[in-house]
Chain A
Amino acid sequence: MSIFDAIGIAGTGVTVNRKWMDAVSDNLANINTATRTSDPAYEAKYVVAAEAADGKGTQVAGVVTGSAEGRRVYEPTNPLADAQGYVKYPDIDMSSQMTSLMMAQRAYQANLQTITTAKEAYTSALQLGKG
């Protein structure tokens, strides 16, 4: 990865943004997951990015999870409802998740564009002096 550093670095960015999209996808998939009030609600996942250890690119430093408290919703018809008729829904904000999704998508595409541009640059360097 020494000659093509730009490509490798952008590759780490693509990886991080793919994981971010995975996390958002997980959150959106579970946004309507009801649980018993005695159980913890689904915890939203938030990917934390950090600079790579070798200083080349980025990496996922860890995943922060949201609160397991959730929102208590009165749904007596839900089979998971407790004696008072309440169930728990995860505390996930749909609009902020969609915003994160768009940011992850744009960042993913930006890194892919870096790869394309770097490849074009390297290819034109190889054409040097060929007229």
Chain B
Amino acid sequence: MSIESIGGVGDVASSLGTLAAGYGQGIADTDNAQMTSAIGGGSGTTYTGSVSALAPTGISGIGTNTSVDGSSGTDFASLLSGGIDKLQGLQSTSDDLAVKAATGDLTNVHDYMIASNEAQLATQLTVAVRNKAVDAFNEIMRMQV
């Protein structure tokens, strides 16, 4: 969800607001303070609303993605670090099973294949999220102020 909100074409303004709120700096200090605060304030309020609405589902939901989404709506860094932590867990599981396969301790052949596939998919997901975020950031950097 936050991938789309960051990467979405129509949501650059809210992304800008999110980024400004997330890094807690900068654009409000420039001479264009009025417009920036209007954008930042507006999207900030909307975002808080959606975060509080999302929070219960995020906590009770099974998806890590959802909970990361809910808890860090304004903080992209923790979304990314949460994803990387999960990726690391999947990869270490896969590595453990690879060692077991090599030593002959593997009871289920498919367990290793599943773990390695999950690790591969998680890697692809993380890379996709990162690419989307970098794309959005570049888009913002190209913006004429």
Contacts and interface: CB of A to CB of B under 8 A. Distances in A.
Contacts of B63: 2-3
6 contacts: A3-B125, A4-B121, A11-B111, A119-B117, A122-B121, A122-B125
Interface of A: 1-5, 7-8, 11, 14-15, 18, 112, 115, 119, 122-123, 126, 129
Contact of B62 (A2, A15, A119): A2
Interface residues of B, number: 17
Contacts, number: 47
A3 to B, nearest CB: 6
Given A7-B118, A119-B117, A123-B124, A14 B64 contact: no
Interface string B96-117: 0000000000001011001001
A2 B67 CA distance: 11
Nearest to A130: B128
B121 A115 contact: no
